[in-house]
A = this chain, B = another copy of it.
Amino acid sequence: MAEEKAGKAAGIAPAQGAPRRNQRPLSIKDIARIARVSHPTVSRALQNSPLVNAKTAEKIRKIADESGYRASAVARGLVTRRTRTIGLVVTTVADPFASEVVCGVEQTANDHGYSVFLADSHADPERERKVVRAFAERRVDGILVTSSRVGALYLPMLKEMEVPIVLVNDQHPGAFVHSVMIANFEGMRAVAEHLLGLGHRRIAYLGDQFGYQSDAERLAGYRAALEAAGLSAAPELIAHGNSKPDAAMAAMERLLAARPTAVCCYNDMTALGALRQIRARGLRVPEDFSVTGFDDLFFAEYLQPPLTTVRQPMRRMGQLAMESLLRLMEGEESVPQIRVEAELVVRASTGRVKE
């Protein structure tokens, strides 16, 4: 374990200046005093209201700009009842899929003048309670969830605060919320068909036990492909991990006992573990065994061999989700559910079945 130690900085003087602790930022009233007008006039001028004389408005804006005045979003939020703030929940930012979505969300949020509160739920009920409480107290205008493990009692809590909610890649049966989803069924069916086309007949499925709707749909896509080829998905060819590589290794070990020649993984993280286990068994990829992923995370094309997978436009999905949320926050009624196409990306981790 790494230990930290205090750097022996040259001198005890972190003193960078005067005690500026009580220095408060200047307010609209300070600007008003300088410009010799009342503060409402300043307020209007800064909003480019047509109610103020063009000349004085210009003067006021100049003063505000030169003095480095920054309007308090806090005070404004209090009176307008809109904070221009959203809450973004993820299971963990450390997951590459979530990171990409967060990136897309943050970008479009900022482009529209919204700031985002980030919260990690870690799939921990206690922490989820705190997140909901925090968002409620912060008076966020909307909520966006990318947590794939939203608990049954979690969403209702969110619901309580009477604010629009958008989910990414998760849709509970009877959900009261909007969502942006990937075409799970079609995507997984496409990889399975790809493997069938390469001659594979014993194809395994390695899912995510916490994948809920997503896992169910992908599994269904896998099943559909097999059945269309006149095969049936044998129970011993199906196992579940938790989207972490080490759990995938364990699950893959069980699957190998059933002698498959290929495996469809729930996502790329799972494929990472599967690949390792397969190699540990002395099998070569793709000569002896084929592996597929889902997501097309940044590392997929840099693996050895590069991973055949299904691409999700993750950043774009974050953007779409945020755009839906923006419309909902504007009061629009008919914001549609969004379904994004998945794209099969064939690389070198899949090959013709060995004779």
Q: A83 vs B134: C-alpha distance in the bound complex, in angstroms?
A: 12
Instruction: Tell me whether B130 and A119 are in contact (CB under 8 A).
Output: no
Across the interface, which residues of B come within 8 angstroms of A279, CB to CB? 304
Assess whether A115 is interfacial by the CB under 8 Å rule.
Answer: yes
Interface assignment of A39: CB less than 8 Å from any CB of chain B: no
Could you tell me the distance between the alpha carbons of A3 and B102 in the complex, rounded to whole angstroms?
20
A94 touches B2 (CB 8 A): no
Q: Chain A 121-149, CB within 8 Å of chain B: the 1/0 string?
A: 01000010011011011110000000000
Of B130, B139, B272, which contacts A72 at CB under 8 A? B139
Of the four ranges (under 10, 10 to 19, 20 to 34, 35 or more), the interface on chain A belongs to 35 or more
In the complex, A331→B14 CA distance in Å? 12
Q: How far apart are the CA atoms of A212 and B126 in the complex, in Å?
A: 41
Q: Does A51 contact B (CB under 8 A)?
A: no
Q: Once the chains bind, are B334 and A14 in contact (CB under 8 Å)? A: yes
**How distant is A287 from chain B, measured CB to nearest CB, in Å?**
14
- Give every chain B residue within 8 A of A103 (Cβ-Cβ): 92-94, 120
A341–B110 CA distance with the chains assembled, in angstroms:
36
Q: Does A81 belong to the interface (CB within 8 Å)?
A: yes
Residue of B nearest to A3 (CB): B341
Annotate A312-341 by CB proximity to B: 1 below 8 A, 0 otherwise. 010110001000000000010111111111
Smallest CB separation, A213 vs chain B (Å):
14
A118 to B75, CA, bound (A): 21
Shortest CB–CB separation between residue A14 and chain B, in angstroms? Answer: 6
CB contacts under 8 Å to B, within A249-273, are: 272-273
- Cα(A64)–Cα(B136), bound, Å: 14
Residues B337 and A2 in contact, CB atoms below 8 Å apart: no
Task: Evaluate contact between A70 and B133: CB separation under 8 angstroms.
Answer: yes
- Residue numbers in B under 8 Å from A55 (CB-CB): none
12 A-B residue contacts at CB 8 Å?
A2-B341, A2-B342, A5-B339, A5-B341, A6-B338, A9-B336, A15-B333, A25-B136, A73-B137, A94-B298, A99-B99, A110-B131
* Residues of chain B within 8 A of A9, CB atoms compared: 336-337
Question: CA of A78 to CA of B25 in the docked complex: distance in angstroms?
Answer: 12
Closest residue of chain B to A136, judged by CB?
B70
Chain B residues near A160: list those with CB within 8 A. 68
Q: Which residues of chain B are within 8 angstroms of A96 by Cβ–Cβ distance?
A: 94, 96, 99
In the complex, how many angstroms separate the beta carbon of A247 from the nearest chain B beta carbon? 13
**In the complex, what residues of B have CB within 8 A of residue A40's CB?**
none
- Could you tell me if A2 and B316 are in contact, using CB atoms closer than 8 angstroms? yes
Do A313 and B74 form a contact, CB below 8 Å, given A14-B333, A134-B110, A302-B272?
no
Cβ–Cβ contact B106 & A99, under 8 A: no
Q: Which of B88, B133, B299, B333 contacts A272 (CB 8 A)?
A: B299
Closest B residue to A111 using CB positions: B130
Answer yes or no: A303 CB below 8 A from chain B CBs: yes
Question: Given B14, B133, B134, which contacts A335 in the complex, CB threshold below 8 Å?
Answer: B14
* A311 CB contacts on chain B under 8 angstroms: 2
Taking the closest CB of chain B, its distance from the CB of A80, in whole angstroms, is: 10
Interchain CB contact (< 8 A) of A338 among B7, B138, B340: B7
A119 proximity list for chain B (CB < 8 A): 106, 110, 115
Flag if A139 contacts B14 (CB, 8 Å).
no
